[in-house]
Amino acid sequence: MPDIDLIIHTPARLRIMAALVSLEPRAKLDFRTLGSTLGLTDGNLGAHLLTLEEAGYIKVEKSFVVRKPRTNVSATAKGRARFEEHVAALKEICRV
């Protein structure tokens, strides 16, 4: 039986992972867009992204575009796999 992932199961991180996994595998989402889409403040989003990054579930890339800093976020292969496993675990619970 697949396991519930405690890192992902937190409501904010669940929504962050759901948003990133809904993109194509190589696609990245801009930090601001991710925050505004999910209705999270910069500080709150940054803290959750750090947790997910430390777990290896997401990749955060910082760059400069026309001298302005930009942060792009994407789900890693490991993150996608763990998220799908988490979803499978949730479905399993619903079936019981």
Partner 1 sequence: MNSESNTPVTRQEALSALGEIDRVRNHVRRTLAAGVMSAMLILWGVIWIVGFSAEQFVPHAYRVWLALDAVGITASLFLGVWSRKPTVDGPSSGRIGACWLVLFAYAALWSFLLVPSGALSGPGWADYAHVLEQKMALLWVTVCMFAYVVMGLWLDRVLLWLGILVTVASVAGFFFLQPYFFLWVAITGGGSLVVSGLLIRKTWGANHA
Separation of alpha carbons 51 and 88, rounded Å:
22
37 or 47: whose CB is closer to partner 1? 37
Rounded to whole angstroms, the Cα distance separating 84 from 37 reads 21
Q: How far is the CB of 62 from partner 1 (least distance, A)?
A: 13
- For the bound state, the minimum distance from the C-beta of residue 67 to partner 1, rounded and expressed in Å, comes to 14
Question: What is the pattern of x (binds partner 1, CB under 8 A) and - over residues 36-75?
Answer: xxxx-----------x---x---------x----x-x-x-
Nearest-angstrom CA–CA distance, 25 and 73: 12
Reduced to 3 states (helix: H, G, I; strand: E, B; else coil), residue 78 is: helix
Half-sphere exposure of 52 (CA within 13 A, CB side): 32
Eight-state DSSP code of residue 40: -
- Interface residues with partner 1 (CB under 8 A) are 3-9, 11, 14-15, 18-19, 21-24, 26-30, 32-33, 36-39, 51, 55, 65, 70, 72, 74, 82, 87, 90-91, 93-94, 96
